[in-house]
Structure 1
Amino acid sequence: MKLLGSHKITFGDLWAVRAGRISNEPSQPKPIPLVEHINTLPIAQFIERYLPLASRQIQIPSPAKSSQPFSDAAQNCNHTVGGITLEFDIHSAESIPASDFQACFDFIELTSSRHYTNSSVGWSPSKKMKEMRLPDMRYILLRKAREQRDGVSDKATANTTIHKQGILGFLSFMVTYENGKEVAYCYEVHLSVAVQGRGLGSQLIRLLEEIAQKIGLGKIMLTVFKSNKTALQFYEKLGFAVDEHSPQPRKLRNGAVKETDYLILSKKVDVNDFSIEQ
């Protein structure tokens, strides 16, 4: 017998190696799947790799809707319109400050709780907060630049928490699996009435699309209530369509047809020009 370290190599082992049953080459660690890899990245590393413009400020567009890509708008970081400059912060569910988390919840309650209440899901603040705290959730917060937060009145936003934080909107998303496919799932998009109609919602979605492209995800998905006609029109304009896995009407035993009160929408992302960096 020959000793290799503290492991004894027997004649049976040598026969197995010759027969190809055991490799004498050092084993290579299995690569971590993409979704799991992304979700283990610290938020600072995620920003550095997939959102290099995270520290930039953006100008608030004029009331006429802009079709300018988010990254292009972000280049002009010192220009303001109407005396308001915006910036965005990126956080994970773990890193987001408690006050910002509360402001995001207040946005949801202010703009969407009625749709939940009128649906089969119902409105539950505790369940919504639990969802918002899912470990892999990330937040893009849009707010007034720091030097402009104090003493600026936002008459269109009555909520005290939102006003205090200067948050004008946010988008939350998760890199996850849906029906076995790697996707970026958008959970929430909300804007203050004060900045609606400026193209900022479209820019947030485009920013998510940029992130998905750089990661190497082939699809963005989201859920929307059928009763929210404004949101449906918004997503349709951005190229979203009803996903093949959106629930279909079910025929009950009594012959009645049961419709769902929500749709799953999706948009394909072209990742041909982006490499997956691990």
Structure 2
Amino acid sequence: MSSSVKVRVSKNKAPRRSLARRQIEQINRGLRKEKPLPLVERTNKLPLAEFVNSYVPSEDLEYCKHPAKTATAHENEPELLYTLDIYTADSIPPADFNACFNLIEETSSNAYKESSEGWSPKKKMKEMRLPDMRYLILRRGPRTTPENVDHAVEGTEPPPEQFLGFVSFMVTYEDGKEVVYCYEIHLSPAAQGQGLGTQLMIRLENIGRRIGLEKVMLTVFKSNDKAVGFYHRLGFTKDDYSPQPRMLRNGMVKEPDYMILSRSLRPGQ
């Protein structure tokens, strides 16, 4: 006499593997659909050495100035060689960081004090340490190390007498546009009036253009006539994002003490 035994298979057991398989497929689909980082985020994520290799060719890290031909110039007068080092806010040597801050304080603290913003050394230093901030440091003379990032990597300090000035900048968004923003550009008094500021701005624009950004932007105090004239000569104009005068409750019109200037990095714009 035989009997048949019906074995019940739990309905919960069979789908387990298929459920796991579906989960894996969903993960794989998510990976396949993962979009690359936007340009600004992708650029800021690059290590410094890769950023330099991608956007700052070696010829942009040197500038050779030929002596002016004047009645008093000597025929054998040597050319002047200038070099640039590029750093992040984390990698800039302390001596360079301090030199940059001291130069800002020397050349701009009075303009800050006279503005509605006021001058705060602590606030300025905090801004100078923003994570995506980069620095181009201008020096007199040949490079002291083979690579411009060696100072920070090896912990060595460049000779302080070589420091002439700097430009600090950030790849960021402004008014929804991908831009390179010039936070500061300063030269020591001994380096002014020699076209070195123009050379720094040319290199900054070159970096923004190679990255593929839309424009270069900056903020300038209206009271700084010298700086305003300098930027206008370089082709900067008042940006649409620049603050407008505002009407106070008493009916008076308050003019902003600064303006935002910009220059397109794209042909025909």
Counterpart Cα distance in 1 of 2:141 and 2:107? 23
Q: Are 1:63 and 1:197, in contact at CA under 8 Å, matched by a contact in 2?
A: no
Q: Which residue of 2 aligns with 1:42?
A: 47
Q: Are 2:228 and 1:242 equivalent residues in the alignment?
A: no
How many residues in Structure 1 have an aligned counterpart in Structure 2? Answer: 235
Q: Are 2:261 and 1:270 equivalent residues in the alignment?
A: no
Counterpart Cα distance in 1 of 2:261 and 2:53? 29
Identity value in percent: 51
Q: Are 2:46 and 1:33 equivalent residues in the alignment?
A: no
Q: Which residue of 2 aligns with 1:97?
A: 93
Q: Deviations over 1:143-183 (max 9, x none)?
A: 022579xxxxxxxxxxxxx9824211110000001111110
Counterpart Cα distance in 1 of 2:132 and 2:101? 17
- TM-score (norm. length: structure 2): 0.78
Structure number with larger C-alpha Rg? 2
Task: Give the CA deviation at 1:81.
Answer: 6.0
Pick from 217, 220, 225 the counterpart of residue 216 of structure 2: 220
Q: Any idea what SS the aligned residue of 1:260 has?
A: coil
Counterpart Cα distance in 2 of 1:102 and 1:81? 33
Give unmatched runs, 5+ long, in structure 1.
11-16, 65-79, 149-161, 273-278
Give unmatched runs, 5+ long, in structure 2.
1-13, 70-75, 145-157
Q: Are 2:219 and 2:258, in contact at CA under 8 Å, matched by a contact in 1?
A: yes
Q: Which residue of 1 aligns with 2:20?
A: 7
Within-5 A mapping of 1:143-162? 143-145=139-141
Q: Are 1:54 and 1:89, in contact at CA under 8 Å, matched by a contact in 2?
A: no
Q: Any idea what SS the aligned residue of 2:127 has?
A: helix
What code does the residue aligned with 1:88 have? Answer: L
Q: Are 1:100 and 1:165, in contact at CA under 8 Å, matched by a contact in 2?
A: no
Q: Are 2:83 and 2:143, in contact at CA under 8 Å, matched by a contact in 1?
A: no
What code does the residue aligned with 2:258 have? Answer: Y
Counterpart Cα distance in 1 of 2:258 and 2:77? 37
Q: Deviations over 1:61-90 (max 9, x none)?
A: 5468xxxxxxxxxxxxxxx96564211100
What code does the residue aligned with 1:28 have? Answer: K
Task: Choose between structure 1 and 2: higher helix proportion.
Answer: 2
Q: Are 1:50 and 1:211, in contact at CA under 8 Å, matched by a contact in 2?
A: yes
Superposition CA RMSD, Å: 3.0
Task: Give the CA deviation at 1:204.
Answer: 0.8
Q: Deviations over 1:2-54 (max 9, x none)?
A: 787871459xxxxxx9xxxx899563321101111111111111000000126
Q: Any idea what SS the aligned residue of 1:7 has?
A: helix
Pick from 186, 191, 214 the counterpart of residue 187 of structure 2: 191
Q: Which residue of 2 aligns with 1:60?
A: 65
